[in-house]
């Protein structure tokens, strides 16, 4: 279990450095960042946040169910976690599609370079996390987790919560942080 915390800690530090570098670039080019930010769909970003929070909650419930040896409940919660993970992927794919359709790419301007980089790295985390949740769901269906054997499930759950908390910062950073008038 210690290994996963080292990974989560290192990943968190890397993202903190990325947030810092984003803010430095924004500081140098605030007007461009603001103009491009306004072209993002904040409603979709907010919906993505609600999806990931729900996903994280379902996975937390699965861990609680396993701790209490309520082994019928855990697979249902984990399946919910997988499906909400897929919903986030679908939502982000739609958003990328909308941007590409109007000719917006990472080369458009510095803001969009950051937008695609940060959301792309995060999306890679979501894909990995959804895969890990699918693995955990299959194992829980086979009753391979219980109160005395849940370290793998807790590692997967902790990674998934990391994915959630990174988005909680990324969403306002990219979509909501307007420039002072």
Partner 1 sequence: MTLLRERATWVWIGLMMATCVTTWGLSKDAFNPTVAVVGIFLIAALKVRFVILDFMELRHAPVPVRMAFEVWVVAVAVIILGFWFATIAPG
Q: List residues binding partner 1 (CB under 8 A).
A: 5, 9, 12-13, 16, 19-20, 23-24, 26-27, 30, 42-43, 45-46, 49-50, 53-54, 56-57, 59-61, 63-64, 157-158, 161-162, 164-165, 168-169, 171-173, 175-181
What is the rounded distance in angstroms from the CA atom of residue 17 to the CA atom of residue 181?
27
Residue closer to partner 1 by CB (options 5, 100) is: 5
Closest approach, Cβ 78 to partner 1, in A, equals 14
Write b or e for each residue in 116-150: b if 16 or more Cβ atoms lie within 10 A of its Cβ, otherwise e: bebbeebbebbbebbebbbebbebbeeeebbeeeb
Closest approach, Cβ 112 to partner 1, in A, equals 19
Residue closer to partner 1 by CB (options 3, 43) is: 43
Torsion, Cα of 164, 151, 72, 85 (10° steps): 20
What is the rounded distance in angstroms from the CA atom of residue 96 to the CA atom of residue 89?
10
Residue closer to partner 1 by CB (options 11, 146) is: 11
Residue closer to partner 1 by CB (options 20, 90) is: 20
Q: Which residue has the tokens 């080019």?
A: 29
């Amino acid at each position: 279990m210690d290994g996963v915390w080292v990974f989560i800690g290192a990943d968190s530090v890397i993202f903190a450095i990325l947030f810092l570098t984003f803010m430095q670039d924004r500081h140098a080019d605030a007007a461009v960042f603001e103009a491009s930010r306004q072209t993002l769909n904040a409603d979709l970003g907010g919906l993505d946040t609600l999806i990931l929070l729900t996903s994280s909650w379902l996975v937390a419930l699965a861990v609680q169910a396993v701790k209490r040896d309520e082994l019928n409940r855990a697979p249902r919660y984990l399946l919910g976690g997988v499906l909400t993970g897929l919903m986030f992927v679908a939502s982000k794919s739609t958003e990328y599609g909308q941007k590409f359709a109007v000719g917006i790419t990472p080369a458009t301007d510095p803001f969009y370079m950051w937008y695609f980089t940060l959301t792309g790295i995060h999306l890679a985390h979501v894909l990995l996390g959804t895969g890990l949740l699918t693995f955990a769901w299959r194992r829980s269906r086979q009753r391979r987790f219980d109160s005395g054997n849940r370290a793998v499930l807790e590692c997967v759950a902790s990674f998934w919560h990391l994915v959630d908390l990174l988005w909680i910062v990324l969403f306002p950073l990219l979509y909501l942080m307007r420039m002072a008038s």
